[in-house]
Amino acid sequence: MIPERFLNALLLGGLLGVALLADWRDEPFTITLATRATILAIAATGLNLALGLGGLVSLGHAVFFGLGGYAMGILAFHAQTYAPVELGPLAIEGTTSMPLIWVTAIAVSSLAALVIGLLSLRTSGVYFIMITLAFGQMFFYFAVSWSAYGGEDGLSIYVRNGFPGLNTLDPIQFFSLCFVLLCLVLVLWSRLARSPFGLALNAARQVPARVETVGLDPKRLKLAAFVLSGAITGLAGALFADLNRFVSPSMFSWQLSGELIVLVILGGVARLCGPVAGAMLFVALEHWLGGLTEFWHVWLGAILLLIVLFAKGGLVGLLSGRPASHD
């Protein structure tokens, strides 16, 4: 059994190592895969905040992923066409600067998370799962029929957006950027988990009645977690869109929300590097099984099933020998 702290280092080191090795051997596609895993890990770490610490099973996190994606798509599209975004009296210039796009993505998705969270947190349990799903579907159908930005076809951005001092079109440079962001998000997550807020949130997940009797409002704690969670997933969405240089309503689909949950559980709920492990395994399986057989979904399904039934605590739980910290 491997201590979890060491395992975390191993996972992150492994991810970085794969990308560096691929760069050295000139296999840019492997770097792209590593970047994909990195970005999905950021998105899932966001979800892990709501789901792992706050106990909020959101089947609508694709909303924030998609909003981040569209924040990138719309800003870059307007920069591409040199027409400002018209918001009533306000006209905002498009941009191809990643930091600006990230700020927008985070702002928009936090705002959406605030509204969705306020409404959804009136419910709990299965109802919460379903109301978040409903919001996801609303955004999905809206995006499908929003013809100004491509509707179902989505939006193609021909050149990856820029970051000062980097050539983002170089796979390894873009990977490094995403990897640094992943590390920052992980640091934030672990600080949060140990902070007074994390302590209160953790208690709010387990015994809301207790949290109330010490004078705290569990709903407000959960709402704050949901907003932070949405913001992180939104950032990942912007990166994902930049990786593909493309956004489409499929970023809002409920399957994507499901996949994010899969990533978290696969790796280990409420574990710092659970989402990282989950994303790496998922991308590897997708790539490797997809190459083996046309019917690879069957095998992916079987593997997921085995993990749920026999490896509680996910991959990180399995490897660190510590069973689920909670379920």
Partner 1 sequence: MNKLVCAAAALALTVTVAEAATKVGMITTLSGGGAGLGIDVRDGFMLAIKQSGRDDIEVVIEDDQQKPDIAVQLSDKMIQSEKVDVLTGIIWSNLAMAVVPAATGQGVFYLSPNAGPSQLAGAGCSPLYFNVAWQNDNLHEAAGAWANQTGYQNSFILAPNYPAGKDALTGYKRMYEGGLAGELYTELGQTDYAAEIAQIRASGADSVFFFLPGGMGISFLKQYADSGVDLPVIGPAFSFDQGILQAVGAAALGVVNTSQWSKDIDNETNKAFVETFQAEYGRLPSLYASQGFDTANLLISALDKAEPADKEAFQAALEEADFSSTRGDFEFGPNHHPIQDIYAREVIQEGDVFTNKIIGVALEDHADAYAADCKM
Partner 2 sequence: MSAVLVIEQVLNGLQAGVMLFLMAAGLTLIFGVMGLINLAHGSLYMVGAFAAAAVSAATGSFLLGLVSALAAAALAGAVVEMLVIRRLYASDHLDQVLATFALILIFSEGTRWLYGSFPLYLDIPAWLSGPTRLPGGILYPTYRLALIAVGLVVALGLWVLIERTRLGIRIRAGENDREMIAALGVDISRLYTLIFALGAALAGLAGALVGAIQSVQVGMGEPVLILAFVVIVIGGIGSIRGAFVGALLVGLTDTLGGIFLPELFKFFTDPATAQSVGASLASMSIYILMSLVLIWRPTGLFGARA
Partner 3 sequence: MTEPILETRGLTKRFGALVASDGVSIDLRPGEIHAVIGPNGAGKSTLIGQICGTVIPDEGSVHFQGHDVTDETVAARAGRGLGRTFQVSALAMEDTVLQNTLLGALSASSSPWRLWRSVLNDRDLVARADAALGRVGLSDRRATRCADLSHGQRRQLEVAVALTLSPRAFVMDEPMAGLGAEGSKALTAFLDGLRDKAPILLVEHDMDAVFALADRISVLAEGRILATGTVAEIRADPEVRTAYLGEDA
Q: How far is the CB of 70 from partner 3 (least distance, A)?
A: 28
Taking a C-beta distance cutoff of 8 angstroms, is the pair 69, 237 a contact?
yes
- Residue 170 touching partner 1 (CB under 8 A): no
Query: d(Cα 60, Cα 131) in Å, to the nearest integer?
Result: 8
158 near partner 1, judged by CB under 8 A: yes
**Given candidates 89, 164, 196, 291, which one binds partner 3 under the rule CB under 8 A?**
196
Binding to partner 1 by residue 246, rule CB under 8 A?
yes
| Separation between Cα atoms, residue 224 and residue 114, nearest integer Å | 8
Residue 131 site contact among partner 1, partner 3, partner 2, none (CB < 5 to 8 Å, cut-off depends on kind): partner 2
- Find the binder of partner 3 among 93, 210, 306, 308 (CB under 8 A): 210
Q: Give the residue ranges of DSSP H helices in the chain.
A: 4-24, 28-48, 62-81, 98-120, 125-145, 171-194, 196-206, 208-213, 218-244, 254-267, 274-292, 296-310, 314-320
**Do residues 260 and 132 lie in contact, with contact meaning Cβ atoms separated by under 8 Å?**
no
Q: How far apart are CA 105 and CA 236, in angstroms?
A: 9
Residue from 86, 153, 212, 217 in contact with partner 1 (CB under 8 A): 153
The verdict on 294 binding partner 1 (CB under 8 A) reads yes
Confirm or reject binding of residue 217 to partner 3 (CB under 8 A). Answer: yes
How far apart are the C-alpha atoms of 200 and 215, rounded to whole Å? 11
CA distance 259 to 300: 12
245 binds, among partner 2, partner 3, partner 1, none (CB under 5 to 8 A by kind): partner 1
**Residue 231 Cβ, how far from partner 2 at the closest point, in Å?**
22
Min dist CB 135 to partner 2, Å, is 7
Q: Phi and psi dihedrals of 313, rounded to 5? A: 95, 0
Site residues (CB under 8 A) for partner 1? 27-30, 32-33, 36, 141, 144-145, 147, 150-154, 156, 158, 171, 240, 244-246, 248, 250-251, 290, 294-297
Site residues (CB under 8 A) for partner 3? 191-192, 194-200, 202-203, 206-207, 209-217, 221, 224, 325-326
